[in-house]
Chain A
Amino acid sequence: MAGSVRVTMTVNGAQQSAEVEPRLLLVHFLRETLGLTGTHVGCDTSNCGACTVHLNGEAIKSCTLLAAQADGAEITTIEGMGQEGALHPLQEAFWEHHGLQCGYCTPGMIMASADLLERNPKPNEEEVREALAGNLCRCTGYHNIVKAVLAASEAS
């Protein structure tokens, strides 16, 4: 039986600490230990991007990271992006432009898009599409997601 490791990280601005199995994936730490269920799991192979969160400001796939690897890090999840009445511009844009249907990929899409706009505040359509290559959506055909990201870029 493997031992446990203590992990401490700042999640959406609040410090969190827990004793966890080494094999606990970051996504399960966020969802099950901390109850932040906005980050989703859609595949096993780092392809779908539904689990995308920010680690020290950069988008990563939290299903391909051990919680232990994020020890000491700052994590931002969809729950840290905006609140009712004070949505993040990307959340507003996804809503306005119908950039979601079932909503399952949406938190990951928004987090990946935020990473793009941080690096490249005024992307063109091709850049948006390339930046989202690691996020799969089965509902929208991406048309309105791309439109939403471009609109959020315009708005900021």
Chain B
Amino acid sequence: MSATAAEPWVGKPLKRKEDPRLIMGRARYIDDINVTGQLWASFVRSPEAHARIVSIDTAEAAAQPGVHAVYVGNDLDLEAPLPMAWVPPGVEVKNPPHWALAKDEVHHVGDPVALVIGSDRYAVVDAAQLVSVEYEPLPVVVDLEKAYEGGDLVHADLGTNQCHEWSLGGGDLEAGFNAAEVVVERRIVNHRTAGAAIEPRGVLADYRAGSLTLTSSTQVPHFLRLFLALQLGISEDRVRAIAPEVGGGFGSKLQIYGEEIALAWASRKLERPVKWVESRTEGMLATHHGRDQIAYAKIGATRDGKITAYHTKILQDLGAYLMLLTPTIPSLGAFVMSGVYDIPAVQTDIVGVFTNKMPTDAIRGAGRPEATHQIEMMIDQLADELGMDRLELRRKNFMTPESFPHETALGVVYDSGDYPKALDTLLEMADLDAIKAQAPAGKLRGVGYSTYTEICGLAPSRVTGPSGFGLQTGLWESAMVRVHITGAVTVYTGTSPHGQGLETTMAQIVAQRLGVDPQNVEVIHGDTGTGPQGLGTYGSRSTAVGGESVARATAKIVEKARQIVAHQLEASPEDIELIDGKFAVKGSPDKGMTIGEISGAAYIPENLPEGMEPGLEELAFYDPENFVFPFGAHGCVVEVDPDTGNVDVIKYAAVDDCGPAINPKIIDGQVHGGIVHAIGQALFERIHYDEDGQLVTGNFADYALPSAADVPSFDLDRTETPSPVNSLGVKGIGEAGTIAASPCITNAVIDALRPLGVTFINMPLGPQRVWEAIEEAKR
């Protein structure tokens, strides 16, 4: 198929380029990759939530046939504990050492204590069972609020369970609450969940002749290379990290895991490739969790519904250690704590608290679902207190479309938005009240709304970097675009997609600008050994930051192409533009060259402009000036069976705005998945530790991801408000559905239960909790 520039590739719902290998079972995920001479690893993990390691006897395991080595914590001579990337200026963050294998003490069930390496996948699991560890149990800290108050300690040498305090505020809070005629306070629980990508994590470490190649199911191969180099004391140029096909991440693979470091170390020690793939049970224990905070939120307003102040204090359950971004997560939400509302005084106070559980870290949305859940629930609670329609209250406090770019009381500048339009669009597409009114006998129906924004496109480095927010990294992205002599194009991106469809989205961006078919644009990612550097895929950054870097590299190609064409056609470069698939002279579209003809001239450089380098390949780095702020309005109807407490979502409609759509099909898919992720949290999923710190929900039988039979189809629409931040006008969409949906569901359940006297309820809204709320309201 020959493309023309008239073909507007951007905006088309193209089928994805990545799909053929996936639907034919031909993709190569980590567990599909094996190398000659490979050994297998199995980890021995603590069954105790908190204990001193008295002794470890590895002799019997080491004596098993086929076992090559058994290592314990003190065997691993690493340069440093596992990394944590946040050093906020002026804030003390207590960071207890966290080693790839625990050394003296274990701090959560699943903490690894030994590593068994052998020749057979099954036999290393058998041998790991023979490692005998003697533990001296220590007091176990599970309850977040109790841990915050003191008592037993997770890390005795810290003298406290409180890791850090961090605040973000703006405006005069005292004056705001003084001006309030109504104040509503709630304790809002956002419980612990798992990322639960269907592909378990896995690592293949291959150290040979002084160089390490490490393949891992990761979202961040470039960070991984850096930290492997630092941890193992290997020069960064001798380390190559590869993310193969990755079966979902949702933040859980945005991490530097001990298993990655331990396997690299063992491969170097044994001079053999070593592979490990977690079981699901292991993954539930030892892949980082998300959410898990309790917020004490307080909102003040005048009687006529003008919000005057909003304050929240958040206790964040960090788990036992700080991993890459553990303590930063609630802070990400603090930047948008006031949501889509123009509130003159806003303050968030966060306390990070250690407990004897797996560390929490980024899971889809990372802090922003929690913030949105809070404000959207508080709006409904306030409306109820005021006796005002909750949509009227929202409209009364929306930042107005004319006010953008809008600087909030927190000093955050929202790039663009039209919140009333999103809500109007939602109300036009679905008459939720009518559906509510049709409740069958014996059932209760409720309507919920969520009008949200989020902060993404991570990130402007001068804001997030060491002297600003305190992340010890830049958050730019880079891309390299190579036009081959045939006119085919290869794009190298530093992002590391794992389901987001960026091979297609980025091809569309490039194809549009070069006048080629996206089918002839290959996007390469996830390998530090090829192409430019990058920082990975998370924080809804891959199109807004990564895509923009692709657009900028492509723009450089276009600029060079115009010079070549102008030279060959004896015209001025300013007069060359893309017309019908050719770079042609304005007004004479027949006089022009395709990108293939131009690259031919560039690679057989007989007639290039004086001094021009041959070739047609460009690199661009892009660091955004600001974040981007997607937004939208979600609405749903739930049906509650008051006899059992069962909740069914029977209608869900959503309007999302991520700027101009590049591929609407992919955008819709991201929203669908995001919504179900949040429905999962609201109604089904829950990571639960018992009072002894044992994980009760340690597999997919107990950790209840919803299936197709448990959720509805969705009605989606979009508004398109361009962002001024990047040339594509785009905002992120990967996390939006998850950020918006949990308060939408929860508000709907409360709406359904109001006739029974239930006015507030916390997630997870499993049937027993709903039934108990009903029973309690009866008393």
Touch A–B, Cβ below 8 Å: yes
Complex: A25 Cα to B665 Cα, angstroms = 38
Complex: A82 Cα to B22 Cα, angstroms = 12
Complex: A28 Cα to B93 Cα, angstroms = 45
Chain A contact residues (Cβ within 8 angstroms of B): what range?
Answer: 35 or more
For chain B, residues 30 to 49, give those with C-beta under 8 angstroms from any C-beta of chain A.
31-32
For chain B, residues 598 to 637, give those with C-beta under 8 angstroms from any C-beta of chain A.
none
22 contacts between A and B (CB under 8 A): A23-B122, A24-B122, A36-B25, A37-B28, A40-B198, A40-B199, A42-B198, A44-B281, A47-B701, A48-B280, A81-B25, A84-B24, A100-B23, A102-B498, A104-B198, A106-B23, A129-B708, A129-B709, A136-B707, A138-B195, A139-B669, A141-B674
Q: Mark B656-692, 1 if CB is under 8 A from A, else 0.
A: 0000000001101101111111000000000000000
**Which of B67-75, B241-249, B404-412 forms contacts with chain A?**
B241-249
Complex: A47 Cα to B701 Cα, angstroms = 6
Would A132 and B709 be within 8 Å (CB), given that A95-B23, A101-B673, A107-B25 are in contact?
yes
* Min distance, Cβ A147 to any Cβ of chain B, angstroms: 8
Complex: A45 Cα to B713 Cα, angstroms = 27
Residues of B within 8 A of A138 (CB): 195-198, 248, 250, 673, 677, 705
Residues of A within 8 A of B15 (CB): 95-96, 98
* Min distance, Cβ B498 to any Cβ of chain A, angstroms: 6
- Cβ-neighbour of B247 out of A40, A47, A78 (below 8 A): A40
A105 at the interface (CB under 8 A from B): yes
Number of A-B residue pairs, CB cutoff 8 Å, is 188
* Most chain B CB inside 10 Å of its own CB: which residue of A83, A125, A138: A138
- Cβ-neighbour of A142 out of B122, B281, B500, B708 (below 8 A): B708
Complex: A82 Cα to B701 Cα, angstroms = 32
Residues of B within 8 A of A136 (CB): 198, 700, 705, 707
- Cβ-neighbour of A141 out of B26, B28, B281, B675 (below 8 A): B675
Q: Are B665 and A98 in contact (CB under 8 A)?
A: yes
- Cβ-neighbour of B708 out of A42, A91, A146 (below 8 A): A146
Chain B contact residues (Cβ within 8 angstroms of A): what range?
Answer: 35 or more
B499 at the interface (CB under 8 A from A): yes
Residues of A within 8 A of B771 (CB): none
Q: Are A95 and B25 in contact (CB under 8 A)?
A: no
- Cβ-neighbour of B701 out of A32, A45, A143 (below 8 A): A45
Q: Are A47 and B24 in contact (CB under 8 A)?
A: no
Q: Are B699 and A47 in contact (CB under 8 A)?
A: yes
B469 at the interface (CB under 8 A from A): no
Would A41 and B701 be within 8 Å (CB), given that A98-B16, A141-B675, A143-B672 are in contact?
no
Q: Are B250 and A82 in contact (CB under 8 A)?
A: no
Complex: A154 Cα to B29 Cα, angstroms = 32
Q: Are B20 and A42 in contact (CB under 8 A)?
A: no
Q: Are A102 and B28 in contact (CB under 8 A)?
A: no
Q: Are A77 and B280 in contact (CB under 8 A)?
A: no
* Min distance, Cβ B199 to any Cβ of chain A, angstroms: 4
Q: What residue of chain A has the Cβ atom nearest to residue B666's Cβ?
A: A98
* Min distance, Cβ B288 to any Cβ of chain A, angstroms: 15
Residues of B within 8 A of A107 (CB): 25
B714 at the interface (CB under 8 A from A): yes
Complex: A23 Cα to B675 Cα, angstroms = 40
Complex: A94 Cα to B16 Cα, angstroms = 10
B279 at the interface (CB under 8 A from A): yes
Q: What residue of chain A has the Cβ atom nearest to residue B33's Cβ?
A: A37
Complex: A118 Cα to B126 Cα, angstroms = 41
For the A-B complex with A38-B25, A136-B700, A140-B673 known, give 15 more contacts whose Cβ atoms are closer than 8 Å.
A31-B32, A38-B27, A42-B198, A42-B247, A48-B198, A91-B24, A98-B666, A101-B673, A103-B245, A103-B247, A103-B499, A104-B198, A129-B707, A139-B673, A143-B669
Complex: A81 Cα to B198 Cα, angstroms = 22
Q: What residue of chain B has the Cβ atom nearest to residue A147's Cβ?
A: B713
